[in-house]
Amino acid sequence: MHVCFIFERHETFFGGLALVKHILLFAPATQEEVGITTRLRRYERMLQRFGIETTCVDAADISVNVQAKTWIHMLDPHGVAWHWSQFGRGELHTLATWLRQCGFGFSVQVTRFPITLDAVEGMSDFLEAVFTEARVIFISAPKLAHQFTQRYFRHAHKVQLLAPGMDLQDFKLIKDNGVEADSIALKHHELQRRLQFARAGKRIVLYAGRIAKDRSLTVFVRVMEKLQKQFSGVRGMMVGPIEEIEAAKPLLQQLQDAHIAYIGAVDHLFMSDIFAQAEVVWDPTASFDVSASIYEAMWMKRPTLVSRQVICPHVLPSQTTFTYDTEDEALQVLQRIFDGTASQAEILQHATRFITKVDETAQLEMVSFLRRLSMETKRVDGKESVG
């Protein structure tokens, strides 16, 4: 199913969009290749599909002429507020006032919920003002919607849960007592240097997760010790932050003794470089949710290894994800991959199918967004006030 088919089928629902001539997309960033910018570009393309003019702005530049029929849609209000304060653009209430005075209508899309930001001076007041002025608050994840309504129960009636799209969780540094436990995310050139040293012509099994007392990490170490003895051209590699420095010291020693390369905490912007250089991804997830590692690996068309004890097999995204119960099973899967008995053609076929499916479901988010936006513009045109 192509995107155009999805929208042709739903186009009759979007008559209210004719009332909007221009949509101002307000995001924390508009240029950098980060997750929020990817979503921004997707919204921009789909809105233009309906002949709606769009303008993308961030906190560094809001000197844009807002037309009478402009709808303002803010992606990630927490990020916008943070960047506004960092650019020294003035008090946060100034931004809230600007939003209140501009445009035909206003909506927000909550993509994360960092409660710690409330401690920043003026942040709570700004967010409250934004959510008060918004006609609709879009949220793409049920868990996030629950967190939001618990915190901002006065605005629960405005929440619109979007159809699930491809909203990956960012890889973030874990902090210990407010201090970044693993120093600072590696710069790109330093990352490349470490990767080059770690690879040294080896075929990589990548473990992407934090260094903590976790059973899957110890299993990874033991399995890699055995695998590296059988296949001299294979090396284990771990990337991720340190949870507790003192507790991590013996774990780091285990990695070193097993000749597993530890890269350190890496900014999520560079994770694609890491996955591109891995042949297999060992997923450390400890929940019933499909983790970011699986999605990232699938995008890079890499097989993934996951413990059946920590994830339900029926939620795995495709047959390219292998599961294991014991260390021996994990070792057998890796042996099949590296001795060539596991079909790489089959892995690529299923990964491609998965990517196509994800692209389709991502468009459903836009359908939900446009349908509600159409409804709200009709209400604004009828002079219906914000609830």
Q: What is the pLDDT of residue 224?
A: 92
Q: What percent of the chain has pLDDT over 90?
A: 2
169 in any annotated domain: no
315 in any annotated domain: yes
31 in any annotated domain: yes
Q: What is the pLDDT of residue 326?
A: 85
Specify the DSSP class assigned to residue 117. G
Q: Are residues 251 and 157 in the same domain?
A: no
Report which of residues 373 and 352 the model is more confident about.
373
Q: Are residues 213 and 266 in the same domain?
A: yes
* CATH number, domain containing residue 125: 3.40.50
Q: What is the pLDDT of residue 226?
A: 93
CA 376 – CA 387 distance, rounded (Å): 11
Containing domain of residue 285, as a range? 175-342
CA 58 – CA 92 distance, rounded (Å): 14
Our count of domains for the chain comes to 2
Q: Are residues 94 and 151 in the same domain?
A: yes
Q: Are residues 94 and 206 in the same domain?
A: no
Q: Are residues 85 and 193 in the same domain?
A: no
* pLDDT digit string, tens, across residues 69-126: 788 888 888 878 777 776 665 666 677 677 766 667 888 988 776 654 444 555 777 7
90 in any annotated domain: yes
Q: Is the pLDDT of residue 219 over 70?
A: yes
CA 363 – CA 52 distance, rounded (Å): 17
Q: Are residues 238 and 105 in the same domain?
A: no
* CATH number, domain containing residue 293: 3.40.50.2000
CA 55 – CA 65 distance, rounded (Å): 10
99 in any annotated domain: yes
CA 342 – CA 347 distance, rounded (Å): 8
Q: Are residues 150 and 196 in the same domain?
A: no
CA 220 – CA 243 distance, rounded (Å): 18
Specify the DSSP class assigned to residue 68. T
Q: Report in angstroms the alpha-carbon separations of 202 from 35, 221, 259, 325.
A: 30, 17, 12, 27
* pLDDT digit string, tens, across residues 283-341: 776 554 455 666 667 667 778 887 766 544 444 445 567 777 788 988 988 898 888 77
E strands present in the chain? 22-26, 53-57, 70-75, 105-110, 136-139, 159-161, 175-176, 179-180, 203-208, 234-239, 261-264, 278-282, 304-307, 321-324
Q: Are residues 66 and 214 in the same domain?
A: no
Lowest mean pLDDT among 270-284, 315-329, 348-362: 348-362
- pTM as predicted: 0.48
Taking a C-beta distance cutoff of 8 angstroms, is the pair 24, 70 a contact?
A: yes
Q: Are residues 157 and 179 in the same domain?
A: no
Nearest to 381 by CA among 69, 30, 83: 69
Q: What is the pLDDT of residue 42?
A: 73
Q: What is the pLDDT of residue 43?
A: 79
Q: Are residues 192 and 335 in the same domain?
A: yes
262 in any annotated domain: yes
Q: Are residues 143 and 197 in the same domain?
A: no
Q: Are residues 92 and 230 in the same domain?
A: no
Nearest to 224 by CA among 250, 248, 258: 258
For β-strands 136-139 and 53-57, DSSP reports them as unpaired
Nearest to 138 by CA among 29, 56, 25, 35: 25
Q: If you average pLDDT over residues 217-234, what whole number do you get? A: 90
Q: Is the pLDDT of residue 138 over 70?
A: yes
94 in any annotated domain: yes
Lowest mean pLDDT among 15-19, 136-140, 218-222, 328-332: 15-19
Taking a C-beta distance cutoff of 8 angstroms, is the pair 208, 281 a contact?
A: yes
226 in any annotated domain: yes
Which residues are 58's β-sheet partners?
61
